[in-house]
Amino acid sequence: MATLGLIEYRDAAPEVRAVYEDILEVRATDRINNFWKAIANDAATLKRTWESIKEIMRPGALDPLTKEMIYVAVSVTNQCGYCIASHTAAAKKTGMTSEMFAELMAVVGMANETNRLAAGYQVEIDEAFLHPFGV
Amino acid sequence: MATLGLIEYRDAAPEVRAVYEDILEVRATDRINNFWKAIANDAATLKRTWESIKEIMRPGALDPLTKEMIYVAVSVTNQCGYCIASHTAAAKKTGMTSEMFAELMAVVGMANETNRLAAGYQVEIDEAFLHPFGV
Amino acid sequence: MATLGLIEYRDAAPEVRAVYEDILEVRATDRINNFWKAIANDAATLKRTWESIKEIMRPGALDPLTKEMIYVAVSVTNQCGYCIASHTAAAKKTGMTSEMFAELMAVVGMANETNRLAAGYQVEIDEAFLHPFGV
Amino acid sequence: MATLGLIEYRDAAPEVRAVYEDILEVRATDRINNFWKAIANDAATLKRTWESIKEIMRPGALDPLTKEMIYVAVSVTNQCGYCIASHTAAAKKTGMTSEMFAELMAVVGMANETNRLAAGYQVEIDEAFLHPFGV
Amino acid sequence: MATLGLIEYRDAAPEVRAVYEDILEVRATDRINNFWKAIANDAATLKRTWESIKEIMRPGALDPLTKEMIYVAVSVTNQCGYCIASHTAAAKKTGMTSEMFAELMAVVGMANETNRLAAGYQVEIDEAFLHPFGV
Amino acid sequence: MATLGLIEYRDAAPEVRAVYEDILEVRATDRINNFWKAIANDAATLKRTWESIKEIMRPGALDPLTKEMIYVAVSVTNQCGYCIASHTAAAKKTGMTSEMFAELMAVVGMANETNRLAAGYQVEIDEAFLHPFGV
């Protein structure tokens, strides 16, 4: 299911089709994920989300695989079932090996643990951490 | 402050001192963060947490900088003030530039957004995502 | 399933039946949701939760539809599958159109994104925000 | 503080100034919040975030005050100190009275409570909730 | 600060004073926490919240100290600074030793870690867990 | 499913078998949960996680049942479906009655509610909470 149903290409309005076509081309794939078909019920959200993701996920100071693994880390921390599945698949496709996945999980788990130890022990921020970039 | 206070080296029991010395050596630094001084009130937690972090954060299938950035991504998602400050500083020291930091933030922000769009639209997981590693 | 099973009206103790009857009347419906049937295993929690929700969700300075949409916003942020489904249905029944739902999702997504940008960039609170109601 | 410092108008590059000017005009204000000054270190994120917020927060099927209150609901759920302060101030400016604020808090609190009761009792989604919009 | 200010006893309306007096008596204390003074701006929320907490936190199948430690566990997981401070103090007063606090933190940290490992590895629920109470 | 599949005893490497055997013995059970079979794809994570849990969950200043209930409290707050199911079953096995479970849920729900009231009303920490253990 999906709250408003899924919009298939054949039933889509022109501005939705245009986004679908751009997704297929940029990602060099032949299928549109349920995520896009679900938010396509709101053409403005579809377009804005896709344009943002396209801009953010392209190679820059960080490579696409690092970005996909960060996406997985956030999704796991948030317990988002759909996002864990879709971004793990995307990271795998971008080159994540099972060894990399396992290390990613280890770091995500540990960070979630120490985040609570730091909060629970009410640790004050060290002076040394205050201006990491010198500003 | 810190719930149980901070344990300084001079006041520490031998097993705590041993962990502090290992931290100083492995990290090639001359200071112990407040985090360690706070959890040092429980020598078992100090030792276990340090041994786990040492094992998890060492170079493997993922490099140390990628691991530190994943740590930042989790800490930001969890709104852990101490951890954001300490791991941003650590990532900077490991080689994260301000450009990398900015891209990291962009991915973390976007992932937190689409995590909620996926959940809110109640999107079902695509068949294609079910066995990313073929098992 | 449900941890302690679901309590049907015919099997319910008098104090549980009394709450069920009040729910049916106040909500002008002929069915009790699984949520109430599950927590009915603890009559005190059932009664307290229902009385609280009845008081909180009734028209006041905010109208019932706004309140239901806020409920959806929280449930989506928390990734609570049951609550997203039940409160989206409730909001729809209270008058939420698909256009309103789509805008609600857009705001929830964006807020979750900027919450992390603000935390990740460690932004200090502006003086101007400190006393919104002048006290 | 702020991880990369705050970019003031006088020190800003032309594309950052252009966004600042648009913010000042659209919001009919004479000050730029620290949030924008912090993310202005990444002109692409500044521009994308502002364009998205401008599109999402403008009057539509939901009015601006409802949108601001939803923003507060998410920020409170996420424990984002900066965002709670800034969006409570923004909601107040848009017309939120102290009575509306109090009811907003009551709903947010209650939703966070029942989200956990539903999850903890492992309640299954009612058939009746599956297709809220009939699709 | 506090969004709507703090309501002191001398300035409080009769129904707020009545709650304050009940808090002082039930808790055998001579001070009202800022939490109550802040939500006292909404007498209905003050009364409902106090009545609920009084009912929930009294000795039952679980003793008061166990309940306070569970409160700390939730507050730490949610990164709620105020709640961590207030409930750690309350648990201490109810009998929590520093050894108990340290073990509490260790469990909370570990649970937050394995919650993410379980989600990240997309582990399916074992048949054996489905009907813990046989219903 | 599980991202990397489940490792059964018969297919396991010696170091994984050794952990499985220790789990079976320490827990006096004859089955290995899916959680362990899933993370067994990474022998280092399996061993480290098991050793940590074994150390943390053993009787100490807190008894095993209290520890299991704290584990449930965290898992419910995080909306981790797998962990709620597995630790509710474990707590039941350790002696949690349905009355204890119901009170546990009531406390967890309430804590999640007041965590947001405290954050939303921007309540400042009382002086009295600052040094709970006098340090």
Task: Please provide the DSSP assignment of F4-56 as one string.
Answer: T----GGG--HHHHHHHHHHHHHTT-S---HHHHHHTTSHHHHHHHHHHHHHH
Task: Find the residue in E nearest to B74 (Cα).
Answer: E116
Q: How confident is the model at residue A8 (pLDDT cuts 50, 70, 90)?
A: very high
Q: Which residues of F87-120 are buried (b: 16+ CB within 10 A; e: fewer)?
A: bbbbbbebebebebbbbbbbbbbbbbbbbbbbbb
Average confidence (pLDDT) over E47-54: 98
Using a CB–CB cutoff of 8 Å, tell me whether E28 touches chain C: no
Q: What is the pLDDT along chain D (135 residues), one digit of tens a residue?
A: 699 999 999 999 999 999 999 999 999 999 999 999 999 999 999 999 999 999 999 999 999 999 999 999 999 999 999 999 999 999 999 999 999 999 999 999 999 999 999 999 999 999 999 999 998
C28 at D interface, C-beta within 8 A: no
- Based on the number of CB atoms within 10 Å of its own CB, is D14 exposed (0-12), middle (13-18) or buried (19 or more)? exposed
pLDDT at residue B135, rounded to an integer = 85
> Could you give the CA distance from residue B45 to residue E106 in angstroms, rounded to a whole number?
7
Question: Cβ–Cβ contacts within 10 Å for residue B11, how many?
Answer: 12
According to DSSP, residue C12 is labeled -
Q: Are the beta carbons of A112 and B78 separated by less than 8 Å?
A: yes
pLDDT band at A72 (very low <50, low <70, confident <90, very high): very high
Q: In whole angstroms, give the CA distance from residue E34 to residue F123.
A: 7
Predicted confidence at residue D124, as pLDDT, reads: 97
Q: In Å, how far are D23, D34, D57, D60 from D54, measured between CA atoms?
A: 9, 17, 6, 12
Query: Among residues E48, A130, C65, which one has the least CA distance to residue D63?
Result: C65
C41, F79: Cβ pair inside 8 Å? no
What is the C-alpha radius of gyration for chain A, rounded to an integer number of angstroms?
A: 19
Tell whether the torsion through CA atoms of F18, F20, F23 and F28 is positive or negative: negative
Tokens 């079976």 correspond to F24
Chain B residue with minimum CA distance to C88: B120
Instruction: Report d(CA F100, CA F96) in Å as an integer.
Output: 6
> Does F3 contact B132 at a Cβ distance shorter than 8 Å?
yes
Find how far residue D107's CA is from the centre of its chain: 17
- Fill in the amino acid letter for D120: G
Question: Does residue B98 carry a pLDDT above 80?
Answer: yes
Give the residue on F whose Cα is nearest the Cα of B60: F44
Residues B118/A82, Cβ–Cβ less than 8 Å: yes
The closest CB to that of A79, out of C79, C102, C103, belongs to C79
Q: What is the pLDDT of residues E86-100, one digit of tens each?
A: 999 999 999 999 999
**Which burial class, exposed, middle or buried, applies to E17 when counting CB atoms under 10 A from its CB (0-12, 13-18, 19+)?**
middle
CB within 8 Å: E1 and C131? yes
pLDDT at E1 over 80: no
By three-state DSSP, how is residue D56 classified?
Answer: helix
* Cα separation, F75 vs D1, whole angstroms: 34
CA A104/CA A107 separation, integer angstroms: 5
> Quick one: pLDDT band at residue A21, thresholds 50, 70, 90?
very high
Q: What is the pLDDT of residue F7?
A: 98
- Quote the CA–CA distance of B79 and E80 in Å, as a whole number: 10
Distance CA E75, CA E87 (A): 8
Q: Do F98 and C45 touch (CB under 8 A)?
A: no
* Cα gap F31→F52, rounded to integer Å: 20
Residue B118 to residue B125: CA distance in whole angstroms: 10
Q: Are D72 and D104 in contact (CB under 8 A)?
A: yes
Amino acid in the structure at residue F133: F
Q: Please tell me the predicted confidence (pLDDT) of residue E135.
A: 85
| Residue keyed to tokens 């941003």 | B88
pLDDT tens per residue, range C2-60: 999 999 999 999 999 999 999 999 999 999 999 999 999 999 999 999 999 999 999 99
Encoded tokens for D122: 């492992």
Give burial (CB, 10 Å; 0-12/13-18/19+) of F64. Answer: middle
- What Å distances lie between residue F89 and C1, E128, E134, F20, F72, CA to CA? 14, 8, 11, 19, 10
Tell me the shortest Cα–Cα distance from B34 to chain C, in angstroms: 19
Work out the pLDDT band at B35, boundaries 50, 70, 90.
Answer: very high
- The 8-class DSSP code of residue A130 comes to S
Q: Considering only residues 29 to 58 of chain B, which have any Cβ-Cβ distance to chain E shorter than 8 Å?
A: 39, 41-42, 44-45, 49
Name which of B51, C108, C49, D84 is nearest A39 in CA terms. Answer: C108
Distance in angstroms (rounded) separating the CA atoms of residues A65 and A93: 9
Chain B residues with CB under 8 Å of C112 CB are 112-113, 115-116
Q: What would the pLDDT profile of F30-73 be if each residue is shown by its tens digit?
A: 999 999 999 999 999 999 999 999 999 999 999 999 999 999 99
Residue E118 reports pLDDT greater than 90: yes
C98: contact with B, CB 8 A cutoff: no
- ipTM over 0.85? The verdict is yes
Burial of C16 (0-12, 13-18, 19+ CB in 10 A): buried
Cα D23 to Cα F75: distance, rounded to the nearest angstrom: 41
Reported confidence tier of residue B72, pLDDT bands at 50, 70, 90: very high
Radius of gyration of chain C (CA): 19
**A97 Cβ contact list (under 8 Å, min separation 6):** B61
Query: In which band, very low, low, confident or very high, does the pLDDT at A135 lie, cut at 50, 70 and 90?
Result: confident
What are chain B's partners, defined as 3 or more CB pairs within 8 angstroms?
A: A, C, D, E, F
Interchain CB contacts (distance < 8 Å): A and C: 21
Neighbours of chain A (3+ CB pairs under 8 A): B, C, D, E, F
User: Does any CB of chain A come closer than 8 Å to the CB of residue F98?
Assistant: no
Nearest Cα residue to B38 out of B46, B30, B26: B46
Please provide the DSSP assignment of B57-71 as one string.
Answer: HSSSSS-HHHHHHHH
Domains recognised in chain F with CATH numbers: 1-58 (1.20.1290.10), 60-124 (1.20.1290.10)
Nearest to E84 by CA among E135, E35, E121, E15: E35
| pLDDT per position as a tens digit, C68-116 | 999 999 999 999 999 999 999 999 999 999 999 999 999 999 999 999 9
Distance CA A32, CA F60 (A): 53
- pTM equals 0.98
Q: Helices in chain E by DSSP H: which ranges?
A: 14-26, 34-39, 43-57, 64-77, 81-94, 98-120
What pLDDT sits at residue F135?
85
